[in-house]
Structures are given as structure tokens and as C-alpha cells.
Structure 1
Amino acid sequence: MVRRKTVTALLALSLSLAVSACGAQNASQNAAGPAAEGQAPAGTEASTAPEASTAPSKSDEPLVVYLNDFDEIIQPMFEQATGYKLELVSGNGAELASRIEAEKGNPHWDVVWMDSMPLIDQLGKTGRLLEGWTPADIGNLTDFASGLVPANGTYYPTGAHAAAVIAYNTKAFTKDTAPKTWADLADAKFKNALGMADPAVAAPAYPFVSYFFQSQGMDAAKGYFDSLFKNGMHVYPKNPNVAKALTGGEIKAAALQESNAYALKNKGEPVDIIWPAEGAPASVRVAAIQKETKHLEAAKAFVEFLLDPKTQQALIDKGEESYFEPSAKGVNAKADRAGDAKLVLAEAAWAGEHEGEIKQWFADKAVK
């Protein structure tokens, strides 16, 4: 029996984001931070963040950053390195998207740093972000990351992670019997055994589904996900709910965000991970500056800090959401992250323009 999620108040608020010039609705994803989306294991070797500054705070007013509810360690790192004060406002993607929209006429934020590239791309297209500024170390972006920077320079990627890999319970399947491709999830032998997060609530779940909708076409993607629903796929609000169902035996395999999947495996849970050869849809974390910020110098310094290889290495070595592909060259991903991990993704503009339509389709399909 398919567990279905109805349209929640958060979805209703998210779907109200009419930031596209062509009238497409825009909602936000919930970033699957490890406090909310599974804690990465402790004990990894810590790298050195950018050198600390002994300078006093440069302003009595803090720089306000809206970010997903993880990696709050960025605050002491940034303050110590630069002397600027930082105020973090954290939440899941839907909460922050609703807040940004509610403050449209009077933004309370200076910088947004979220796993919500389609949403932020739409904010840039409607003139709500600083344009034309280029960070000093832009030449150090990887080829993958540099290809994601919009022509108007409204946001910059700080990393990307798999919105979903295939995770399976080793008590139910072996590597030979577990699903190995996204198409395998529709196989009748996995009837009622599968789970995924709700794209209307969990930030990584929308990049996951939007990739199929763009790469396959709207009708073909609807057919694919219809086949998963008919195969008894369970839909949970967020990735931690999926992880709990997977280890508890309610489901036996899942499309699960990678930090959650690795956290389970590293904790000794009976879980293993498969990266489909065709690629895992990516969720990209980006940073953007609010156009009317009164703290432009500090905002630019914060974005450049996020792009610094030392900062990204520190987030991988010590951060909560530590499993990701860095955007800066010279940064080492987690040693146990698959060496052949392949990320694929929908174009930000396309995903932003179709976000409301796709999420509404899933909401209409959902059964409580």
C-alpha cells in the first residue's frame, strides 16, 4: 500500500513562490542536513580552516545568513577568520523558501546558502540578488562547479551531493540481489519494499525527481514514477524518516540522500550503498547575496570564504553534512565516498520553472 503525503501548509506556502517571469511557481527543497538528515561519523581527521584573524569585529551589526539546518560550524570559523559577526537563521528548505517570499518587500537576510539551486536561480532572474560580482578565487572552481555559475553571476556553488543513491538493507538483499539501477526500482520483485523522501518537503528529493522529468520528458517521467507508486513505493516526509524505515525493516531499499546513507553504514547499521552507473541526481548547494544588503563587504567576504579550499576541506573533515563533492580544486572528498561516484542533474533554470508543477503532481499522486 503506497503511503502518500498530502499537501501540507509548507507545500502550499512553497508553491506560492511565483518568482519566474513566465509564471512558474517555485518552492524550495529541504536540505537533508545530518542533524535532520543523519549525522556523519565523528573521528575524521580535521583539516585547517582559513587562518584566524585577531582583528576586532568590523561591524556592530551581524551579517544575516539563511541556510539549511546543518553546518552551523561555519559561524565560528568565519567570525574567527574575518572579524565579521554572523547571525545564522536555519531551517528546512520549505521553511526558508516561505520566509524569503514573505520578506520579499523587506528582506531580513544578507546571504542565502542552501541546497536550493532552482529556487535561487529564480530569485536571480527576478532581480532579487546581487548581479555581476565575481569572487576573487573564481578560477579555482572545478569544471563541474564552474559550469553551474549563471551568466549574471547571481550565485556560486559551494558543493554538490547525491540527492539519492540506492541504499538497501543487507538483511534483505545482497549486492547481487539488490536493485542496481533506477529502472530496477520498478521491478515487481521489489514490490512494497521501496521508499523515498517527499519532493515537496525534503530538499534533496526535488533535485532527485526533477532530473528524471527533464532527462526523460514530463510524460515519460510521470510514467516512471507511476510505476514506482504501483510497485508500492512508500513516500516519507524527509530522508531521516526514510533511513529509519530502512533500518527498522518497514522498507528494504530506498532512494536515500548520500550523507544519510553513509551515516547509517558508518554507524554499523545493516545498510549498503549502490551508486547507479547512470549517475545519481545531484543536489547543489549555492550561495547568493541579497541585492539590497547593507553589509555588502561582509557578504562578499562570506561567499569567498565558502569557496576557499581550506573552508571546504574543514566542512568535509569536521562538518555535519560532510559527504559532498567540493566545488573548489584541491579539496579531498571523504575517503570512503565511492571513487567512481557520478553526479547528474537537471538544469537549474528548467527545474525552477517547473518546480511547482512537478511538486503538485506528486502531491496529487500521494496517498495518506
Structure 2
Amino acid sequence: MKLKNWCVGFTLLGMVCSVSAETLTVYSAGPKGLSKELVAGFEKETGAKVSLYQATGGKIMARYQAEKSNPHADVMISSSLGHAITLTKAGELLAYQSPNAKHVPDFLKSATYVSQGTAVLAIAYNTQSKLPVPTTWSDLTKPIYKNQVTMPDPRKSGSALTLVEGLSEQMGSKAWTLFSALKANGILIPGANKAALNPVLQGAKSVVFGAVDYIALDLKRKGETINVVYPTDGTVLAPRPIMILKSTKHAVLAKKFVDYMLSKQGQTLVAKTLILPARSDIKSDRPGFGELKLINFDTVSAAAHAEQTRDKFANIMGQ
């Protein structure tokens, strides 16, 4: 889709024309570098313009909700699948299935959203620590890890909430016993994902319970003393859903944007960040779907009970 000249008037001296172009407004939860690259690629390919707002998943959702009376966003890319489920239930998303979504597994798409890619929740540890490398979630309740473990706060991290939801469905009451044991073992819950990772990078702590894997893998690639373990008892995905808002005035362009996100070019950019691409035919220098033991759970039910889950976790942790 290229820019077009639209004639807006005539004079005796000739035709007066102006250049008119649609501007697509996209709200995106990071990584910032990826969002900028994707927007730049889309603009180059289509000639369209994109106004990009980047923040955490919670902040982009809050901004959208605050603008309900005068919506600005056309497309949202969130770090929380719960946002897509909530907006679908509210009837606020435009149904669209991109032709490129045929390469995306069914569990990462629906009639109203499709994942750009997905993070995987893992254990990240400082390789200079003298502690044994953990292999299961419950390992981190052992006395040897006392006061050495951090975890992102599920009230501030959608991915951490997803992990709590997945473990609680898989393990039932034993999951809450696990969280109680982590509390008794001195787990630190300082904030969102980076706040939990920083003490481990600095050596003040040794292990992150529920690290976003692509962040830790990227730091390892850059030379940090960090490594990732995917627990043998299973873990969860944290998909990054792309959604077109039903209030958009640029539906055709918004659909083209989704198509680009799922094109080989767009998904290759996703793979470069070490996020697991949504398309199963795109290679990535990281563990893929077939190499991970995943916990399957009812994400729709989890989204409906998210507030209760956050509250129960906070009560156990004394927050």
C-alpha cells in the first residue's frame, strides 16, 4: 500500500493537491528494539506511517482503557494473553485471521488475536554461583537455596502471573504449598521481571524462579554470567498477542500490519530477539516448541480468575 495523491480542490491556475496517508497507531509491550524494527520494516514495505507507543503490558492496557471515550489505538501487542482474552470477552476486538497465521499453532491464535511470539518461563541462574544447578521448580525450596532466590511479582508481571496460573492448575493445592515453601525459604519478590533478574546478575542472589527466558538468553549471548534451565516438571508459555481494536478507523491497514508481523521477515526479526517465534517454520537459536515440556491449562478460565490468583499469591507472600 503506497502513499497516494488526493486532489482536494481546483483553481483557475490549476489543480491543488495534497498528500494524504493513513497513520496506524500501535501500542506495544517491548522489547523496544523489536517494536521499532518491526515498525520500520512495515513502513518501508507499505509506505504507511505508524505512531508507536511502547510501555509494559499493564501500561498499554491501562492507556487503552483510559481512552475508551476517544480511542486512539488501532493495534495492540501485549505481553499478556489475559488482555486478549478479556478484550475478546468484552467484544472489543476485530475478528481477523491472517493468511500467514496458517503457520501458527492453534493454541497461539483465535478468531480475534494471534501471537507475535512467546516467551517461556524458566529458571535463570548465575553461573558463578557455587550452588547446584536446579532442575525442578521445587528444588528452589531446598535449604541450600535459602535467601538466594528471586521471583517477578505476578501483580506487575503478566508472565509471572501466567506461571502461577499454570502451576496452580497442574499441581492444584500443591502449587500453593510450593509458594509457601518458597516464602519460608526467603524468596525475594522485588518487582517486575528486570527487578527480579538484576540481583542475580549482580551476584547478590543466585536464582530467578520464573524468569522470562528470552531476556536471560539475550544477556547470556552478550556475555553475562547467566544461564537458563527449563524445569523437567514442565513450564508455561507467555504468548504476546497481537489484537486489532474494533474501534479502529484503519481496519485494512491494521490487517496488513498483522500480516507483516506474521510474515517471514517479521518473524525473523522476532527470532533475532530470542523470543520464540509464533510461526513454527521460522528457525530460532533457542529451544523450540518440540524441545519444551509445556503445561497446558485453561487460559480463558485463568483470565477470569486472575485477580483472585494474584490476591492469593500476595497473601501467601505477605505482600
Q: TM-score, normalised by structure 2?
A: 0.86
8 Å Cα contact 2:270/2:276 also seen in 1? no
The alignment partner of 2:151 has SS state of strand
Alpha-carbon offset, residue 286 of structure 1: 1.0
Is residue 213 of structure 1 aligned with residue 181 of structure 2? no
The alignment partner of 2:85 has SS state of helix
Post-superposition CA distance 1:69-102 (Å, at most 9, x none): 3222111111111122111111112211211222
8 Å Cα contact 1:67/1:88 also seen in 2? yes
Alpha-carbon offset, residue 293 of structure 1: 1.0
8 Å Cα contact 2:219/2:226 also seen in 1? yes
Q: 2:202 aligns with which of 240, 244, 248?
A: 248
8 Å Cα contact 1:193/1:232 also seen in 2? yes
Structure 1 equivalent of residue 295 of structure 2: 344
Partner AA of 1:171 in structure 2: Q
Alpha-carbon offset, residue 283 of structure 1: 0.5
1:304/1:90 CA distance change after superposition, 3 Å: same
Q: Which moved more, 1:344-353 or 1:303-312?
A: 344-353
Structure 2 equivalent of residue 178 of structure 1: 133
Q: 2:28 aligns with which of 67, 74, 84?
A: 67
Higher normalized contact order (CA 8 Å, seq sep 6+, divided by chain length) = 1
> Which segments of 5 or more consecutive residues in structure 1 lack a partner in the other structure?
1-52
Structure 2 equivalent of residue 270 of structure 1: 225
Structure 2 equivalent of residue 238 of structure 1: 192
Give the structure with the larger strand fraction. 2
Is residue 357 of structure 1 aligned with residue 308 of structure 2? yes
Alpha-carbon distance between aligned partners in 2 of 1:335 and 1:125, rounded to the nearest angstrom = 34
Alpha-carbon offset, residue 257 of structure 1: 1.2
Structure 2 equivalent of residue 93 of structure 1: 57
Alpha-carbon distance between aligned partners in 2 of 1:204 and 1:134, rounded to the nearest angstrom = 25
Equivalenced residue count is 301
Alpha-carbon distance between aligned partners in 2 of 1:184 and 1:332, rounded to the nearest angstrom = 32
- Aligned CA-pair RMSD: 2.3
Alpha-carbon offset, residue 111 of structure 1: 0.8
Is residue 156 of structure 1 aligned with residue 111 of structure 2? no
Alpha-carbon offset, residue 244 of structure 1: 1.6
Partner AA of 2:101 in structure 1: I
1:1-368 → structure 2 map (5 Å cutoff): 55-56=2-3, 60-70=21-31, 71=34, 72-131=36-95, 133-141=96-104, 145-150=105-110, 153-162=111-120, 164-173=121-130, 177-217=132-172, 219-255=173-209, 256-317=211-272, 322-334=273-285, 340-367=291-318
Post-superposition CA distance 1:207-252 (Å, at most 9, x none): 12111122223x3322221111111111121222222200222211
Identity %: 28
The alignment partner of 1:234 has SS state of coil
8 Å Cα contact 2:196/2:208 also seen in 1? yes
> Which segments of 5 or more consecutive residues in structure 2 lack a partner in the other structure?
6-19
Post-superposition CA distance 1:240-282 (Å, at most 9, x none): 2222200222211112211222133223332222121233321
8 Å Cα contact 1:123/1:129 also seen in 2? yes
Alpha-carbon distance between aligned partners in 1 of 2:182 and 2:123, rounded to the nearest angstrom = 14
Greater Rg over alpha carbons, structure: 2
8 Å Cα contact 1:57/1:84 also seen in 2? no
Alpha-carbon distance between aligned partners in 2 of 1:148 and 1:268, rounded to the nearest angstrom = 32
Alpha-carbon distance between aligned partners in 1 of 2:27 and 2:61, rounded to the nearest angstrom = 10
Structure 1 equivalent of residue 14 of structure 2: none
Give the structure with the larger helix fraction. 2
8 Å Cα contact 1:111/1:287 also seen in 2? yes
8 Å Cα contact 1:199/1:205 also seen in 2? yes
The alignment partner of 1:200 has SS state of coil
Alpha-carbon offset, residue 366 of structure 1: 4.2
Partner AA of 2:3 in structure 1: P
1:258/1:360 CA distance change after superposition, 3 Å: same
Partner AA of 1:185 in structure 2: L
Partner AA of 1:146 in structure 2: D
Alpha-carbon offset, residue 170 of structure 1: 2.2
8 Å Cα contact 1:309/1:329 also seen in 2? no
Alpha-carbon distance between aligned partners in 2 of 1:353 and 1:184, rounded to the nearest angstrom = 30
